[in-house]
Structures are given as C-alpha cells and as structure tokens.
Chain A
Amino acid sequence: MTTDSVPAGDARRLLSDVRSLAHRVRQDQRLTWVALLVLAGVTFLGIPFDWFGMKVHCLSDGSCEFARRGVLYYWPPALLLAYAAIAYSYVRAARARGLGARVLPYAVTGAVTTVVFTALWVAAALYLPSHPQAFPSWVMVVDRLFSPWGMIGIALLVLARLERNLPLLLFTVVYLAVMLMPLEGAFGSETHWGTRGAFLPQQILAGTLLLLGGIGFRRAARRQR
C-alpha cells in the first residue's frame, strides 16, 4: 500500500478497499459453526428431558392429556447457558485473532427470547388445564414459534444480521420454515411411541438441522482460511 494521499479519481478503488476490508474483518469475527453446534448439542440433550419429564394421563375414551414439564425445567437454564457459552467462545476467538467481538446483541436476544418463551409456557401451563380448548392452526404456528426451537431461529436471525451473514440468514429461514411446520406425530412417531413420541420429530429435525448447519459452516470457514 502506498502512504501517499490518493487522488479523488481513485474514490471507487478506495471504497472497494473499504468494503473488502470490512468483509474480511466480519469473516474473521464469525464463529457461526460453534453457535450452531452448541445449539444442536442442547437440542439433542433436551430430548430425554422432554421424554421422561412429560406427564401423560390417558383417559378411558383413548384421549390423552399431557404436560411437557421436562421442556419447562430443562430449556430455560440450558438456553441461557448455551448463549453464555456461545458469547464466551466468540469473544475468546475474536480476541485471539486480534479483534473485538460483536456477539453481545445476539446473546441478549437469546436471553430475552428464552424469558419470553418461558413466560408463555408457564402461563399456558397454568391456564390451559382448567380451560381446555382446540386452537385454530395459525395459533399452533405461533405456538411452535414460541417454542425453544422457534426461539433459537429468531435469535439466529439476529446473529445473521449482526454478522451480515447471508448464508446464515438463508439457513435460518429454512430452519424456521421447518420448525413452523406441524410435525407433531409426523413419520408415524405417535403411532409407534405414543404421546411422548409425537414430539420427537420436531426435536430430532431441529437438532439435525443445527448439527448439519454447524458442520457445513465449519467446513466453509476452514476453506476460507
């Protein structure tokens, strides 16, 4: 690089340099694969908690009432720990590379979405047993959005925005689209494993998508270095 002032005619080149430097810094700050792998791990670990923590009461007419206590006890602390671990990893890796990190808004969003999901689930757990009702399908879409798996997607959207990471944005859109689909009892899970099994497909799909995303982003990051 020269140390002389650049004439005004070189404005285009200067702007192009600015863009490419900014892009390089953003790439060096990213640790997307760690975030996705941590969230995948938390998701897979949550499956037995949901399975064994679920209270199922089947009536003589064949219908069953259930309460997903495992989700309520496991996910809030697990998500908060996961976001803390992700933020710590980002700061540590960026510092080792000689950079600051821009992960704090993501961790804060993660914590806020965790509080929101917990509040809604506690409210539902208190209200619904005494007011059983059938909800229209759009309410169920909102319900799936406010599940831990939906909230993970919302926080990932914030991470994609912070990192100006288009591949992560595309990944998150696909992830959220899958998570909002009615997967309860899909692939015959309810037939094979009963009420508990009905909730397996969403969790297995969420964990698998996050795991595959983590592996993919890890490979892409290694190729770039």
Chain B
Amino acid sequence: MIDEAESSHPATGLDEVVHQRVRLGILTIAHEARRVEFGYLRNQLELTAGNLSKHLSVLEAAGLIEVEKGYEGRRGRTWITLTPTGTAALAAEIGRLRKLIDRIGTTITEEDR
C-alpha cells in the first residue's frame, strides 16, 4: 500500500515561508555560518536593507530565526541565528526540492519512452 504522504506531489508540501528564493538564501547562509551578520546577508543576497529586514521579519515571526541586536564599539550590529525549527524547515525544504527534481526527472524519462 502506498503511503498518502509519499504519493502526493512534492510541490504540494512546499512551505511558502521557506520556499522563497531570498528567504531560502537567508536560511542557507545562517545554517552554514552558524551565526550571520545583517551586512553579510545584504551583500551576499544583493538586497537593500529594507527588503532584507522584511524577509527577516517574516522568518522571525515564523520562529525560524532569532535576531540579536548589539553594539561593537559604536557600531550597531545585528546577528541572525537559525532556530532548531529553522534548521528542520531548511532540511525539509531541501529534501522536497530534491524529491521534486527526481520526480521531474522520472516524468521526463517516462515521456521520452
């Protein structure tokens, strides 16, 4: 018997908060870096400060990241850390994307026959 979750198309399980290019990028960088500063994210993702702030707010509201504001000397710095929920969400999203690619690959192969 085929499990219902397994038989459903991987695209139906995609989380809209995570399945967004910029937000997926933020989660990826935060995961890889353990802890990342606002300026690094802005440079790597080529975003304006306002745009990045909006995406961070969405991720923070979803409980996927923690934002910590502080000072280094006189300079204000904002550090972003992935929460355990964020780590799980990122892993799930990457898993779904891989499944989707496999599914697309299988469909194309079947159509070729």
- For the A-B complex, the count of residue pairs with Cβ-Cβ distances under 8 Å equals 83
| A98: chain B residues within 8 A (beta carbon) | 36-41
Q: Mark B47-82, 1 if CB is under 8 A from A, else 0.
A: 100010001000000000000000000000000000
Q: A interface, by DSSP: helix, strand, loop or mixed?
A: helix
Contact B33–A1 (Cβ < 8 Å) = no
Majority secondary structure, B binding face: helix
B contact residues, range: 35 or more
A21 to B33, CA, bound (A): 10
Q: How far is the CA of A15 from the CA of B101 in the complex (A)?
A: 10
- Tell me if A5 counts as interface (CB < 8 A to partner B): yes
- For B41, list chain A residues within 8 Å (CB): 98
Q: A3-B20, A14-B24, A21-B29 are in contact. List 17 more A-B contacts (CB 8 A).
A: A1-B25, A1-B46, A4-B20, A8-B10, A11-B100, A12-B101, A14-B21, A14-B97, A15-B94, A15-B97, A21-B28, A21-B44, A24-B44, A25-B28, A98-B39, A99-B34, A101-B34
Please list the residues of chain A having a beta carbon within 8 angstroms of any beta carbon in chain B: 1-6, 8-9, 11-12, 14-15, 17-18, 21-22, 24-26, 28-29, 94, 97-102
